[in-house]
């Protein structure tokens, strides 16, 4: 079974139900007819099973249709974060070697910065605004034979070396996450999901779009998140589901408070589920949202490499600060974080390990990194090391995350690895050494903070501008502090826990 087999069920059951609203309705019949027409066009330019197709565009219905067409041919999606700039995009293109790049006019200035060598694999750039001339008659179209073990996506995630890695996600991996969530969150065909999460991220693409299409539900697709527009949509009486990151909920709380103070009635009774993920949700935001709306936000936990792993219950108590218990088909262990491999008693902290059909195959063209990310237990079962420290409640089994074992900063739902930022900082004239850590932030969860050792004076404004030209804005340090020397141990390793608070 592959993803198209799953999507075919609601297409047959309710072809005239809206699949997308963006801004007007697009039925399941219309969406999949468009996908077949585009697939025929892609086949006509030689796209075949296993080829990679890069996506670099915002939330729009053409993205959904084009992606479904890619799946029809057994090709592999490579989403690119819209915040990325030349250095990051060039690495992804050089590593994944996509044959096609699907984008939009707004992104052409960024892509124009790439030189010929950096985009040498891309045979053709296709614009969302020019799809009218790309469609073909699907009458003679023959979809590829796609098995569950075939790749569906290469999702790039930051690495400790500063070079992002492509997580190989198969059809079976996505199916495991989707079917688990369909059951755990009680998806129904009459659900309407308000989706403003970016589709270049697994939260929006898999948890949002895939689940909705598999359930036969409707997606109200937003170009981007706007607190006022989101509040109006939620209060409009049609939306039943909303998924967001903590930053969105912080802004929603502010907007809803403003409306309540202005005398507006906050009736969100039609919405049956609010979910939060991709970064820790503060207990303060959880309680403030519940006080305003009467809804307890459901927190869950997943990773690029694994899809979804844990979730608070749909029917049951949701405890702020916890990410719940394993989803259907997922198994977990919490082991000694010092590397001894033994499982720790319930209630004690250790590194979280997971296994299940949702867990990725490995990193693209990186067998050593793949091997280092897995271990086997005495029964020979393969476990993925998440790098997250966690503790499991002895009574309820609910898991609380305690932070990253290896310094990952989660800012606004996106991963920031200090090593990558440090490399950019160290390339700036006058910077001799750099250390980057995450600091708590009430809106973004965490933000990067940099400690520098310099030769002479360094202008922080110029340094910040340099960083913004080299990497995504969410990776740029919010604060820069200067030290005479970085704290190191006897072996010369920087001891970040000794940096000033």
**424-475 confidence digits (pLDDT tens):** 898 899 998 899 999 999 889 999 999 999 989 999 999 999 999 999 999 9
| Rounded Cα gap, residues 246 and 488, in angstroms | 34
The predicted pLDDT at position 132 comes to: 87
Read off the pLDDT of residues 2-52 as tens digits, 9 standing for 90 and up.
898 999 999 999 999 999 999 999 999 999 999 999 999 999 999 999 999
Same domain, 431 and 387: no
The predicted pLDDT at position 458 comes to: 94
pLDDT for 98 beyond 60: yes
Same domain, 21 and 48: yes
pLDDT for 182 beyond 80: yes
Read off the pLDDT of residues 54-63 as tens digits, 9 standing for 90 and up.
999 999 999 9
**482 lies in some domain:** yes
**419 lies in some domain:** yes
pLDDT for 282 beyond 90: no
The predicted pLDDT at position 348 comes to: 87
pLDDT band at 160 (very low <50, low <70, confident <90, very high): very low
Interhelix angle 246-261/283-293, nearest 10 degrees: 40
For residue 34, the SS3 value is helix
CATH number of the domain encompassing residue 58: 3.40.50.12780
The predicted pLDDT at position 416 comes to: 83
Same domain, 106 and 228: no
Same domain, 161 and 214: no
Q: Are 287 and 293 in contact (CB under 8 A)?
A: no
The predicted pLDDT at position 493 comes to: 61
Same domain, 391 and 489: no
pLDDT band at 337 (very low <50, low <70, confident <90, very high): low
Read off the pLDDT of residues 387-431 as tens digits, 9 standing for 90 and up.
888 889 999 999 998 767 767 788 988 878 777 888 889 889 999
Same domain, 339 and 432: no
The predicted pLDDT at position 275 comes to: 97
Q: What percent of the chain has pLDDT over 70?
A: 96
Average of per-residue pLDDT across 472-497: 82
The predicted pLDDT at position 133 comes to: 84
The predicted pLDDT at position 339 comes to: 54
The predicted pLDDT at position 409 comes to: 87
| Rounded Cα gap, residues 148 and 143, in angstroms | 15
Q: Are 435 and 499 in contact (CB under 8 A)?
A: yes
| Rounded Cα gap, residues 202 and 308, in angstroms | 9
The residue range of the domain holding 476 is 409-498
Same domain, 394 and 413: no
The predicted pLDDT at position 457 comes to: 92
**275 lies in some domain:** yes
pLDDT band at 136 (very low <50, low <70, confident <90, very high): very high
Q: How many CB atoms lie within 10 A of CB 366?
A: 18
Lowest mean per-residue pLDDT among 126-130, 330-334, 489-493: 489-493
Same domain, 262 and 395: yes
Same domain, 25 and 109: yes
Same domain, 387 and 431: no
Q: Which of 153, 172, 191 is the last residue of a domain?
A: 172
Q: Are 299 and 281 in contact (CB under 8 A)?
A: yes
pLDDT band at 491 (very low <50, low <70, confident <90, very high): very low
The predicted pLDDT at position 159 comes to: 45
Q: Are 420 and 158 in contact (CB under 8 A)?
A: yes
Average of per-residue pLDDT across 81-94: 93
Average of per-residue pLDDT across 100-122: 97
pLDDT band at 281 (very low <50, low <70, confident <90, very high): confident
Same domain, 399 and 419: no
- Which segment, 153-162, 204-213, 413-422, is predicted with the most confidence on average? 204-213
Q: What total of structural domains would you count in the chain? A: 3
Place of tokens 């993803």: 3
pLDDT for 489 beyond 60: no
**179 lies in some domain:** no
What value does the CA radius of gyration of the chain take, rounded to a whole number of Å? 23
Read off the pLDDT of residues 360-380 as tens digits, 9 standing for 90 and up.
999 999 999 999 999 999 999
**437 lies in some domain:** yes
The predicted pLDDT at position 419 comes to: 76
Place of tokens 């969410």: 474
pLDDT for 490 beyond 60: no
Same domain, 217 and 161: no
């Amino acid at each position: 079974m592959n993803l198209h087999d799953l999507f075919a069920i609601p297409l047959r059951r309710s072809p005239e139900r809206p699949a997308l609203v963006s801004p007007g309705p697009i039925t399941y019949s219309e969406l999949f007819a468009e996908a077949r027409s585009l697939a025929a066009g892609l086949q006509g330019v030689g796209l075949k099973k296993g080829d990679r197709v890069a996506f670099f565009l915002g939330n729009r219905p053409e993205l959904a249709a084009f992606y479904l067409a890619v799946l029809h041919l057994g090709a592999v999606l490579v989403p690119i974060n819209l915040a990325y700039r030349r250095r990051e995009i060039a690495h992804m293109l050089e590593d994944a070697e996509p044959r096609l790049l699907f984008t939009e006019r707004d992104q052409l200035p960024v892509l124009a910065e790439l030189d010929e060598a950096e985009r040498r694999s891309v045979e053709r750039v296709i614009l969302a605004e020019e799809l009218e001339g790309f469609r073909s008659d699907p009458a003679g179209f023959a979809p590829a034979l796609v098995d569950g073990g075939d790749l569906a996506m290469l999702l790039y995630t930051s690495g400790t070396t500063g070079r992002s890695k492509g997580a190989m996600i198969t059809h079976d991996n996505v199916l495991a996450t989707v079917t688990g969530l369909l059951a755990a969150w009680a998806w129904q065909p009459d659900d309407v999901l308000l989706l403003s999460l970016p589709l270049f991220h697994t939260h929006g693409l898999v948890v949002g779009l895939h689940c909705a299409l598999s359930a036969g539900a409707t997606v109200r697709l937003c170009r981007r998140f706007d607190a006022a527009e989101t509040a109006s949509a939620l209060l409009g009486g049609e939306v039943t589901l909303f998924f967001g990151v903590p930053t969105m909920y912080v802004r929603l709380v502010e907007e809803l408070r403003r409306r309540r103070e202005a005398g507006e009635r906050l009736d969100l009774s039609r919405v049956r589920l609010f979910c939060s993920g991709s970064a820790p949700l503060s207990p303060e935001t959880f309680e403030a949202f519940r006080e305003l709306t009467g809804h307890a936000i459901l927190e869950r936990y997943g990773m690029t490499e694994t899809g979804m792993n844990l979730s608070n219950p749909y029917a049951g108590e949701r405890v702020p600060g916890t990410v719940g218990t394993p989803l259907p088909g997922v198994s977990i262990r919490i082991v000694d974080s010092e590397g001894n491999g033994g499982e720790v008693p319930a209630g004690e902290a250790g590194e979280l390990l997971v296994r299940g059909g949702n867990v990725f195959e490995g990193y693209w063209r990186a067998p050593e990194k793949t091997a280092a990310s897995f271990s086997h237990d005495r029964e020979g079962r393969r476990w993925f090391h998440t790098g997250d420290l966690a503790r499991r409640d002895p009574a309820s089994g609910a898991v609380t995350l305690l932070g990253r074992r290896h310094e990952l900063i989660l800012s606004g739902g996106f991963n920031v690895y200090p090593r990558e930022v440090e490399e950019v900082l160290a390339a700036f004239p006058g910077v001799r050494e750099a250390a980057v850590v995450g600091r708590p932030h009430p809106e973004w969860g965490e933000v990067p903070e940099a400690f520098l050792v310099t030769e002479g004076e360094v202008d922080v404004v110029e340094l910040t501008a340099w960083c913004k030209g080299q990497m995504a804005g969410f990776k740029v340090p919010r604060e820069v502090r200067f030290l005479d020397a970085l704290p190191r141990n006897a072996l010369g390793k920087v001891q970040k826990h000794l940096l000033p608070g």
